[in-house]
Each structure stands twice: as C-alpha cells, then as structure tokens.
Structure 1
Amino acid sequence: MRKHFLILILALIVANTVQSQTRGTKIGYIDMEYILQNVPNYTEASVQLEQKAQKWKQEIESKKIEIDKIKEALKAEKALLTKGLIEEREMEIKFLENEMLDFQQKRFGANGDLMIQKSLLVKPIQDQVFTAVQDIAEAKKYDFIFDKSSDLTMLFSAKRFDISDQVLRVLNRAEKREQLTKKQLEAEEAKESKEDALDENPAMAERQKALDDKKIARDQIIADRKLAQEAKKKEFEERRQKIIADREAKKNGTISASTKTEDKKENITDGKDTAKSAVEEAKQNQIDARTKILEDRKKVIEDRRKAVDERRLRTLEVRDSIKKSREEQIKLKQ
C-alpha cells in the first residue's frame, strides 16, 4: 500500500513538471527611461527642472567668478597690505568659498534640491507604471517582468518581450477616456482590443505591420502622382499665361514675333523636361515602395519560420520529458 502511495505522488509530481514545461515560463521587461520620456507630463516637468538646474549652475559660476576677482585683487595688493589685512582678506575668501560649496551641496548634493525634486517628479509616474505592469502581468499571465533601466544586468533582450509600449498605452488610456464621448469611448475600446490582440500574437502584429507598410507605400505613390499632375498643370498654366502675355505685347508692338516664337519653344521644352523628371521620380518611388514591401514580406516569412522551429524544439523537449517520466515510472513499478 505504501509503495502504491509513493508511485501516485511521483506521478503527480511528474505530471505537474510536464505541464509547467509545456506552458513555459512567460517573461517580459519594460524600459522605464523610455516610458518616462514618452509621458508628456514628465517631459514638461523635466524641462522646467532642467531650467532651474541651469539657473543654479549660473549662480554658482557667478560666486566662483566673484571669489576669483577677490583673489586676484589680494595678489596684486599683497605687497602693500599689512599682515592683519592680508589675514582678514584670506578669511573673507575662505568664508565665500565655504558658502559656495554649501550652496552647491544644497542644490546638487545626494540629498539636494535637484535629487528631491526629481524623486517627487518620478514617483507618481512610477506608481502608475507599477500598477499598469501588475494589471498586464495578471491579465496576460506573465511569470516575471523586469526593468531594463534598473541595476539588473540584461546581456540580451529580444524586442518581442518588451511591453513598454503596452504600459504606455495603459497610462494614456485613462487620460484619454476622461475627455471622450460615449461614441468615441466605444471606438477607443475597439482600438484597444485590436492592439491587445496584436500584442498577444506576434505573427499577427507582423502581418498588420506589413499591411500598414503597404498602405504607406500606396499612399506615397498616390501622393507622388498628384505632385506630378500638379507640376504638369502648373507648367501648362505658366505656358498659357506666357502665350497670352506675348500676344498682348505683340498687339502693343513691344515684342517681335521671332522673340515670341523662341520664348514659346523654350517654355515648352522646359515644361517637358520638368514633367519628365516628375514622372521619373514617381516611377522611382514606386520601385522603392515595391522593394520595401518585398523586404518586409521576406522578414515576415523568416520570423514565421523561426517561430515554427522554436515550437518544434519545444514539442521535442516535451516529448523527451514525457518519455523520461514514463521510463522512470516503469523503473519504479519494476
């Protein structure tokens, strides 16, 4: 009976191990510096704090210049002063130097005004980030989430594990929702659902990126065509205005017919060259856009192939672990 009980416990342990290996450990990381740089309130407050710091540096520099002037004056007049006056001046210089050092420590020391104000500025945003990270971890079943900008050494970090943009979206959603109407709120929620789905499925995200790139390339081609058409219209209008002006001048007898003919030919030639260059530029933009689309497709295919290889390796590892656990069970039964 005791032997059967031990076998049952071992079987449960093996089953739990296989299940955890099958699911895998889900790890993500954030870049706190990147998040802070993309929070508008923090950026504005940082600029104001930097302006204060520059002002404090200027005050310290002014004090230093004043002390240097007193030192130079003492050096120049030292031969004419008594010992008592020299000592008095030196004590004054020492007092001013200590005063400058105290001011510098007060503003830029480890517990100075700059560090205190930076902490007060960062803490509310850090609290929001920690809350957003906890919500994302619970919703998407993360086992570990690290901070890339902390003291933790990360020798390598794949971009697909970076959830900084997800955290930024969570921070921005709360602020946006307060300013939206009901209809706009529904549209925003639909957009958020789509973004979350893309975060969960890297392959879908790559496909969406490829579609967005195609759309951008198509819009660029359309814009180039419009520019070429506008250039042609502009050249045609300029030629038309030139012909009208030449006719008026001919009527008034201020220009010869031969001059008019030569100018017309030059305008037509210049217009053709400009239109031709615009068309060639549009064609080149089309070729560049197609080349970029092909490169993106190639990258998506390579990423899919890598994902398939990774899944195959994980499947083989799971099979090996199951096989080993079965062999161990057989040995225990024997």
Structure 2
Amino acid sequence: MKNKLIALAVTLLLGGSQVWAQAQQPVTASAAPVKIGYTNMEYILQNMPESKDITNQITIQRTQLEKQFQDMSKEFQDKLAAYEKGQAQMSDLIRADKEKELQGLQQRIQEFQANSSTQLQNKYNQLVNPVMQKIQKNVDDVAKENGYTFVFNLDAGSGTIPVLLYAPEENNITDLVFKKMNVPIPSKQAAQPATQPNTNAAKPAAPAPTKKN
C-alpha cells in the first residue's frame, strides 16, 4: 500500500512538472501574414475617363470668372478716368459721391478676387469627389481579392516627404485597379502634376486704389 502511494505521488509530481514547463513556453499567436500594397490615387484620377470632362468644366468656369473680372475692372477704370477728368468741375458733394462709388466698386472687385479661388475649388471638389469614391471602392475590392492587409497612397505626402519611401514594384496595385474598373492601363506610369484647378488664373491684379485730392 505504501509503494502504491509513492508511485501515485511521483506520477502527480511529473504531471505537474509538465504543466509548469508548458506554462513557461512563450505564447506564439498564429497571426496571418501581412501583405502591403500601394498605388497612386492622383495618377489613377488623371487617367480616368471622367478626368477630361472635369478639366473642361473647370476651364469653362475659370474663363467665366476671368471675364467677369475683366468687365468689373473695365468699369472701374472707365469710371476712374471720368472722375479724374472732371473732378475739377465737380462740387464737393458730387466729388464725394463719385469717390464713394469708386471705392465701393473697388471693394467688390477685391471680394470677387477672394471668392473666385474658393468657387473654383468647390467646383473641383464637387466634380472629383464622386470619381475618388469610385476609385476608393475599387481599391478596396482589389485589396480584398488579392489579400492585401494595407494599401498606401503613393502621393499622400507629395510636396514634403513621401509616406512610402521604398516599395517593390510587384506590390503596386495600380494596374489591378485599372483592370477592375475596365480602364485602359496607361502605357507609362510616370509622375504627373496634380489635376487641381489653377485658381490663380482667376485672380488678376486688382485695380489701383483711388486717391482723394
């Protein structure tokens, strides 16, 4: 009976030792492999069929704004010339009224300049946002279908330090996105300027301020 108790105790000790040894082993999670891809959203946008129409509409609005500015400037210059030509014969009351009119017109021109850039940018966003949402959806689909865990936008840091400093070409999903959207793959993937509206073109120099004599 004594021998049986000793044998049982040894068995329990050995079993406890094995459990303790297993508890000391590092826990290794069976994590899925990380697959990282990248693309260039601006480059895709520039090669979308909608891009040409966006550029045309922005050009039309910019031309309209420039025409409005030119008309306002001409009106100001004509009234200023008439004021300068006839101010010597004007009464103080009429002179003050003309100067007030010129100052008001000049203020309207300056406000127009300030608002024209915002109008162009808002128009651009209105046209581009639906296309970017379409591109994003297809990027999501390509990433899921090809097992990518993360996808970086290559031009996200343009103008400063890029977000992605190095990546192998086989991780570039741009062509896969073009295929997904049935858009012809451009013959050469080269960095291109952003398709942003040229807001400065609608902001010519303001007329010179009026001077009181």
User: Does the pair score TM above 0.5?
Assistant: yes
Asked if residue 133 in structure 1 is aligned to residue 139 in structure 2, the reply is yes
Name the amino acid aligned to 2:74.
Answer: I
Pair 1:156–1:78, CA change in 2 (3 A) = same
- Cα deviation, residue 85, structure 1: 1.6
- Looking at structure 1, the residues matched to 164 and 138 of structure 2 have their Cα atoms a distance apart, in angstroms, of 25
Offset of residue 27 of structure 1: 1.9
CA shift for structure 1 position 117: 2.1
Partner of 1:62: 71
- Look up the match of 1:156: 165
Structure 2: gaps of 5 or more residues: 1-15, 186-213
User: Over aligned residue pairs, what C-alpha RMSD do you find?
Assistant: 2.8
Q: Give the equivalent residue in structure 2 for 1:108.
A: 117
Q: What runs of 5+ residues in structure 1 fail to find an aligned partner?
A: 177-194, 196-334
- Residue 85 of structure 1 aligns to a residue whose secondary structure is helix
| Matching of residue 172 in structure 1 with residue 182 in structure 2 | yes
Rg larger for: 1
CA distance in 2, matches of 1:159, 1:62: 54
Scaled by the length of structure 1, the TM-score of the pair is 0.43
Report the Cα offset of residue 155 of structure 1.
6.0
Fraction of identical pairs, as percent: 23
Q: Distance in 1 between matches of 2:142 and 2:103?
A: 58
Q: Does 1:145 align with 2:151?
A: yes
Cα separation, 2, equivalents of 1:157 and 1:64: 51
Aligned length: 164
Which structure would you say has the larger RCO, counting Cα contacts within 8 Å and 6 or more residues apart? 2
Q: For the Cα contact (< 8 Å) 1:36–1:43, is it kept in 2? A: no
Write out aligned runs for 1:170-249 (5 A): 170-172=180-182
TM-score (norm 2): 0.65
Q: 32, 38, 43: which is aligned to 1:34? A: 43
| 1:73 matches 2:82 | yes
Q: Find the counterpart in structure 2 of residue 124 from structure 1.
A: 130
Distance in 2 between residues matched to 1:5 and 1:132, nearest whole Å: 47
Q: How far does the alpha carbon of each residue in 1:227-254 deviate from its partner, in whole angstroms, 9 at most, with x for none?
A: xxxxxxxxxxxxxxxxxxxxxxxxxxxx
Structure-1 residue corresponding to 2:62? 53
Q: Distance in 2 between matches of 1:45 and 1:165?
A: 22
